[in-house]
Structure 1
């Protein structure tokens, strides 16, 4: 009973139509057929007036829709006395809304699953050791929190107790538990294993990983795609054809009932319902695979993509340069050089500094502090380490302190960091940034999905980006680009639509101006994620091709469902035109057409299941890049003795 009341409140027009049908049926069975006719006719005409008002408002907003057919069908059936058919049309219009809501609910299942799992409460450990339950938005950075078995981590933090086994499948798609040790970062939205753990909050709720994902999903679920109104593109011709068939049927037969019978099966509910249901299904399928479409319009544009542009560092490459060579000068050994350079780089904010520090810790064992370190932006860092004056950075910067500096003949594409110690040239460290494993396969897949032009647009110098582009088969390279240059290139790029893929803060402007901006990884730049139309939650470039594939399949399914409705409706109109389809039967058949169109549109829920050619056609081991690839790696630097990029 409670469920029935809830349904009545949710769909009052459906409930009212059923009530009118019950009352009218009772009147007709008791010999009061005229009263039943008047009741149904007045009710149907009232609904027609409501639809007409909506239609006029749409016309004033320069939106020509299909409402005119529904209004004409209701009025014509009332006029010719087919009042039961008019009631069925009204029920079809009201029921169509209910079917759409139900189908959209099925299609949005994955989106809702994310929203439903938002943590609401946290268990804060107080100074006296007691545990207080607080709202998740009251958690502050530095708070120590208890997470009980099987609970969702409320905020991002660092593990502060023992070992933990976490389920991160809602964040990364990885189905296996991930083991964490003390000090490891843990993400909100992860599900704790069988043992209670303690974490120290490193972000408030609003800035934590899961809440950021949920906010993206909220934006996505509230958006509407242009294709949702795609049926309106067919509105004028479909309306014209319907009225023409109905008019000819009336003229040839001389029976106005024939006109009403034709229009009954021309009611356009399938056209209005199919597209939104398909798009909700496509967005849900994408979300399940770690791809959040912030706007449903992105699906329609992805389906038509013709140009794809990529940033380099962190997008086509791993974004994590690694030390591949340590070359000390005579008088220094490898361990000593690593220790001195790593200790100095503690005080640098450059992208290479962390890699050098890590290599020093791994190979030299420790880092020493400095009390007078200073960084010269884009050039390097200078510091006193263990009583020795150390200068690290670009060759010109180091040469000011070491006249005996010898340029290092590194391979093209390598980043070279120079060092001087107490006025002597001490040696160099060589770093590289590896190309992502699936980068080449992703580009092959994108070409198979309709991308005619693929560009690399990067701030790195040509000597760095060139070998990477060549190894991936990218023939169009734009190097040494400032953010303004990237924006100009993407604005001028043809053919359109243009997709831009990036991950850093400097990519935010170009992601915003592209037809579809795709941000790699919600763990990356907040600015990039906010500017993008699509956010890939996983650090997996192959999802770019999968996003395009889902867009193409979703749009194809939406169009198929729309055309299915048109073809069936036209077929039924022709049958009705020759007098073989009574109005009440035609009105009932339209409900079947609605159901067929919706079931067809719901296929988009599985838009991400089908394999993507180029990514899934062969085992990973057989999908290797051919041609000369310098150590299968890319870089952040330049060629021989070249300066560090963006130092």
Structure 2
């Protein structure tokens, strides 16, 4: 087995193996005085390699990709022409070894990305009879074949394969890869368990509620695959360095030849024109940045997004669930004369069963906690961000924004609310029936996030929300945002985001209600830690951890990654040009120059791997000082 592991690189990179054997043979022949044989062998082998390289170059050009291999081809031809055939073989070794070096660096850079892929569940234990426990009643199937309502057995230490409802009375799960919560989480029967969570020390049973492709962890895996397959614009920018760098290298080599009158000097200069910083270092740096972000609980959909993050100059935030905690609690039920509080809450919560809004979920939860039974509707419809209308027991119930309710109940009266409170207005059979008061405080880290962005080059920070102006301005004051655009419909959010300057613009929202504006922004950031749509298809970045502070991490990582990529490029170019200038004097023989070039390549690639680390953002690791609360009144809407 050990022998096979040692031989694997030889089979994976056959050109390297053959080149090393050829180089050793030529060196031995040179030592034995058989230079003619060695020259013939080297010329034939390098000539074949040059022809193969030219074919690849033509294919690249036809695909619109201008490569730097022309420098290596000219260097190989030149070294053969002046009799430096050992140097020509070293150049072949450098080019073929570059592939192996790139593979190593790329594997190192993407290790945290591939860790997510490697632990993706592939099989599930489907129970042939619900609550079965014997092994002969369990069937192992591929995870993609699990159907909705299938009952699954999850053994101790196994990964939950699909999203499901816990059937066992209780279970403990490690959800750190999904939410960033380091401590195990205990769920009771009836709770939803997300795929990707690791079961504790007790076997549990779950009922699948989503297929594999729609489950939380598989959506994360899809994001990771998309990030791996992306190609950063800075890599295409590196391609554009190819022409000027090639021209400068050839010019320096030509000048050296002209001044010295020795064609050997042309070859000695050109062997130091290394393309690896452009071909390998920049992609490796961006893979490192994507990997580092994934480890921090931030999935970035490609290197191009990393570059945009590094240059962000404006930031826009949604309010509910983004700047606020997104978990409003019902604090008061205020019926008007002629309606009872219990009936008001029951009818409103029953209607809210047909709404996807965050306030709707809070109202439903509050009714259930109070032991109120929810009623089915004969018909129901929702107007996004405005409210829901349902016919329940023959009564027409409307719940939502004050303007939406006032359209069917002219006697609607706006609520008198205190700071941080929100209200859902209710009309029953065309009469204003009362309001449900909820409270949704700002996230404790929101003021620190806004402050960090402002002090780190983000020139304009705004709030874009469908909420009423009083509520929006209250939250804005507590979080440090000066510019507020309130009572917006989704198309208005998109229009405002498109007109924001300076650019690039980063929009942060919940990834569901804000999908249009996330897609329209230069950088869409979805708070995807909660809910089933973790992939945030409209977003460029998905935050898997329920913390707005990860926005700071994302921007910090983007800036560090771009800085490392560009530095690696210029480091390689600077070293190459400096060494070529020295070689113009004849101080560096061709063989020594070819070997020196290898060290330049290695130095730039190792530098590119710095994208895996880097300085901390300086943002508090856990929370921030509590925000100040103003005494102004506010009222809410459906965000």
Does the CA-based 8 Å contact 2:313-2:459 persist in structure 1?
Answer: yes
> Which residue is equivalent to 1:353?
360
Residue 544 of structure 1: how far off its partner (Å)? 1.4
Does the CA-based 8 Å contact 2:511-2:528 persist in structure 1?
Answer: no
> Which residue is equivalent to 1:300?
307
Residue 380 of structure 1: how far off its partner (Å)? 5.5
Residue 180 (1) aligns with residue 182 (2): no
> Which residue is equivalent to 1:66?
68
Deviations 1:569-627 (A, max 9, x none): 122212211121111111111111111111111111114xx3223445xx745x34357
In 2, Cα distance between the equivalents of 1:346 and 1:53? 64
Residue 312 of structure 1: how far off its partner (Å)? 2.4
Does the CA-based 8 Å contact 1:466-1:477 persist in structure 2?
Answer: yes
Matches within 5 A, 1:481-630: 481-521=488-528, 523-524=530-531, 526=533, 529-607=536-614, 610-616=615-621, 620-621=623-624, 623-626=625-628, 628=630
TM-score by length of 2: 0.89
3-state SS of the aligned residue for 1:480?
A: coil
Distance 1:592 1:630, change over 3 A: farther
Match for 1:210 among 206, 217, 222? 217
Distance 1:613 1:627, change over 3 A: farther
In 1, Cα distance between the equivalents of 2:308 and 2:259? 46
In 2, Cα distance between the equivalents of 1:157 and 1:22? 61
In 2, Cα distance between the equivalents of 1:421 and 1:489? 36
> Which residue is equivalent to 1:640?
none
Does the CA-based 8 Å contact 1:304-1:552 persist in structure 2?
Answer: yes
Matches within 5 A, 1:445-460: 445-460=452-467
In 2, Cα distance between the equivalents of 1:359 and 1:90? 71
Please identify, of 347-356 and 261-270, the stretch whose mean Cα deviation from structure 2 is larger.
Answer: 347-356
Match for 2:240 among 233, 238, 242? 233
Residue 356 of structure 1: how far off its partner (Å)? 2.4
In 2, Cα distance between the equivalents of 1:397 and 1:260? 79
Q: Where does the alignment leave 5 or more consecutive residues of structure 1 unmatched?
A: 638-644
Residue 47 (1) aligns with residue 52 (2): no
Distance 1:425 1:262, change over 3 A: closer
Deviations 1:58-108 (A, max 9, x none): 455554442222122111111111110111011011111110110100111
Deviations 1:173-209 (A, max 9, x none): 2222111211111111111111111111111111111
Distance 1:522 1:334, change over 3 A: closer
> Which residue is equivalent to 2:91?
89
> Which residue is equivalent to 1:224?
231
In 2, Cα distance between the equivalents of 1:396 and 1:508? 24
TM-score by length of 1: 0.88
Does the CA-based 8 Å contact 1:431-1:635 persist in structure 2?
Answer: no
In 2, Cα distance between the equivalents of 1:166 and 1:24? 62
Distance 1:51 1:328, change over 3 A: same
Does the CA-based 8 Å contact 1:118-1:211 persist in structure 2?
Answer: yes
In 2, Cα distance between the equivalents of 1:389 and 1:265? 81
Distance 1:573 1:445, change over 3 A: same
3-state SS of the aligned residue for 1:365?
A: coil
In 2, Cα distance between the equivalents of 1:388 and 1:240? 80
Residue 270 (1) aligns with residue 265 (2): no
Residue 455 of structure 1: how far off its partner (Å)? 2.3
Query: How many pairs are equivalent?
Result: 630
In 2, Cα distance between the equivalents of 1:376 and 1:231? 50
In 2, Cα distance between the equivalents of 1:41 and 1:121? 54
3-state SS of the aligned residue for 1:352?
A: helix
> Which residue is equivalent to 2:371?
365
Match for 1:77 among 68, 79, 89? 79
Residue 52 of structure 1: how far off its partner (Å)? 3.3
> Which residue is equivalent to 2:39?
37
Does the CA-based 8 Å contact 1:448-1:613 persist in structure 2?
Answer: no
> Which residue is equivalent to 1:109?
111
Residue 238 of structure 1: how far off its partner (Å)? 2.5
> Which residue is equivalent to 1:641?
none
In 2, Cα distance between the equivalents of 1:260 and 1:435? 66
